[in-house]
């Protein structure tokens, strides 16, 4: 089930924001220069050694597993019918929460915000004790979550308001009123806290850095066809300048807000950077996405750069502050994840990957290339993950016995094959220290990724 949500007319976003390896130099520098030498590739490992799980646990009744992440001493597993919290040490079930329909989960060091078709709930991370609840109708807005705040829009009355709730108690501290949309019942306001919740990891499968502090949130709405946004102080709700934006979805890093509009032609999208404090446009670029159907090919942001594909399908890295193109590769590949100086990209068409490629984030030099079995599907990024210096991916098993699929782990910097997860047949989540996998129907495993 896809966790991506349709773009609505109002948005609040948080400012925070076994194969073989080979090396190459498939990169085009922004200015003529001497071609850098390729980073030596790792010696291919003939066979991956197996590693046993720290623990395995059965979760009957949870439904199809979708993703998982580790938050301190707690493992959160999101499934079709339940959100389950497990003790990281022994896999003991701490609490379960029933969910319905598409579900969005956001986690801080103390709290978990859960939004499904029927309600928005705030619970204690370790105990699952309820702290906040309000009804939803399935099309109402999602909450924006920071380390200390949850911002929820409320359109139950004649006007809409953004409500600032202080964590961990979810106490109401401020409100900001804005006009109710005429067609609110058809296009209810939407709140987007991109990069602060688990729905992102349905595609990237990387452990989220815990939701960090954020000085600003941005309230967006559509007025007579124009998309308008206002920056608010997260702690007080005091508004700043209101500005026009290209699109209703915004991703922020520092005070730079990114919007994109895919209503141009084909898979092309115009990416626009604006200073949300002043509304002034910093830069714009035309980019491409590799998956037009699921819209999972949005550019990647790490706080300093934006990674995407050109309109010709080449990986490109753009300076977030200036919009300057740092480099554009010559290889036909689609970026999948950014981590610790490495850009993970995949080659192949929309539904079938041919290889995974590790590119140096600084200059685009190819560090390694991992050829994949022809049957490996990663159309929605759901079978590969990179975090820190670890790469994990799901692939068909070469063994005649046992599971039909396996999870392999490699060094993300060199491409060197490290080990295979014993009994695992699907990847649910990867962090710098831990990996969560599925082992058959209803069974979850935890591995040390070190």
227 contact partners, CB below 8 Å, separation of at least 6: 9, 220, 221, 244, 245, 246, 247, 248, 259
Q: Tens digit of pLDDT for each residue in 54-66?
A: 999 999 988 888 8
pLDDT at residue 436 is higher than 90 = yes
* Phi, psi angle pair for 202, to nearest 5°: -65, -25
Most confident of 43-47, 263-267, 336-340, 411-415: 411-415
Whether 387 and 432 have beta carbons less than 8 Å apart is answered as yes
**How much is the mean pLDDT over the chain?**
75
Q: What is the pTM for the complete model shown?
A: 0.80
Residue 42: the pLDDT is: 40
pLDDT at residue 27 is higher than 50 = no
User: In whole angstroms, what is the distance from residue 147 CA to residue 162 CA?
Assistant: 18
Helix (H) / strand (E) element for 293: namely none
Residue 297: the pLDDT is: 52
Residue extents of the structural domains in the chain: 12-17+21-32+44-448
Q: Tens digit of pLDDT for each residue in 259-270?
A: 766 555 556 677
SS3 for 100-145 is CCCCEEEECCCEEEEECCCEEEEEECCCCCEEEEEECCCCCCCCEE
Provide the pLDDT confidence category of residue 223 given band limits of 50, 70 and 90: low
Whether 192 and 200 have beta carbons less than 8 Å apart is answered as no
- State the average pLDDT over residues 159-175: 92
Provide the pLDDT confidence category of residue 132 given band limits of 50, 70 and 90: very high
Residue 257: the pLDDT is: 81
12-17+21-32+44-448 CATH pick, 2.130.10.10, 1.10.3720.10, 1.25.40.10, 3.30.479.30: 2.130.10.10
């Amino acid at each position: 089930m896809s966790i991506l949500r349709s773009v609505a007319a109002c948005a609040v976003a948080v400012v925070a924001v076994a194969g073989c390896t080979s090396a190459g130099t498939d990169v085009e520098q922004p200015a003529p220069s001497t071609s850098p030498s390729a980073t030596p590739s790792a010696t291919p490992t003939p066979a991956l050694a197996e590693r046993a799980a720290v623990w395995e646990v059965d979760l009957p009744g949870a439904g199809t597993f979708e993703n998982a992440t580790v938050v301190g001493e707690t493992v959160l597993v999101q499934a079709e019918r339940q959100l389950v919290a497990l003790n990281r040490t022994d896999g003991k079930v701490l609490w379960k929460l029933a969910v319905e329909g598409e579900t969005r989960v956001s986690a801080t060091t103390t709290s978990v915000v859960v939004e499904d078709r029927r309600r928005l709930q705030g619970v204690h991370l370790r105990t699952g004790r309820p702290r906040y609840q309000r009804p939803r109708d399935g099309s109402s807005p999602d909450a924006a979550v920071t380390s200390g705040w949850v911002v929820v829009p409320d359109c139950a009355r004649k006007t809409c308001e953004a409500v600032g709730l202080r964590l961990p108690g979810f106490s109401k501290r401020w409100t900001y009123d804005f006009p109710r949309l005429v067609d609110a019942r058809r296009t209810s306001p939407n709140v987007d806290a991109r990069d602060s919740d688990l729905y992102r990891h349905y595609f990237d499968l990387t452990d989220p850095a815990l939701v960090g502090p954020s000085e600003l949130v941005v309230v967006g709405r559509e007025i007579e066809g124009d998309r308008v946004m206002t920056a608010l102080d997260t702690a007080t709700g005091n508004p700043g300048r209101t500005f026009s934006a290209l699109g209703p979805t915004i991703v922020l890093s520092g005070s730079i807000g990114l919007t994109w509009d895919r209503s141009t032609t084909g898979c092309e999208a115009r990416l626009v950077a604006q200073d949300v404090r002043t509304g002034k446009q910093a830069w714009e670029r035309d980019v491409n996405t590799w998956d037009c159907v699921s819209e999972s090919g949005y550019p990647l942001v790490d706080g300093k750069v934006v990674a995407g594909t050109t309109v010709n399908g080449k990986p490109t890295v753009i300076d977030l502050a200036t919009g300057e193109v740092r480099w554009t590769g010559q290889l036909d590949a689609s970026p999948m994840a950014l981590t610790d100086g490495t850009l993970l990209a995949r080659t192949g068409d929309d539904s079938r990957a041919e290889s995974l490629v590790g590119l140096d984030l600084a200059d685009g030099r190819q560090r390694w290339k991992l050829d994949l079995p022809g049957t490996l599907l990663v159309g929605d990024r759901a079978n590969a993950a990179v975090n820190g210096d670890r790469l994990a991916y799901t692939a068909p098993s070469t063994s005649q016995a046992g599971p039909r699929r396996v999870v392999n782990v490699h060094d993300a910097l060199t491409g060197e094959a490290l080990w295979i997860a014993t009994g695992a047949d699907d990847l649910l989540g990867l962090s710098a220290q831990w990996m969560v996998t599925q082992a058959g129907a209803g069974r979850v495993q935890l591995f040390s990724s070190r």
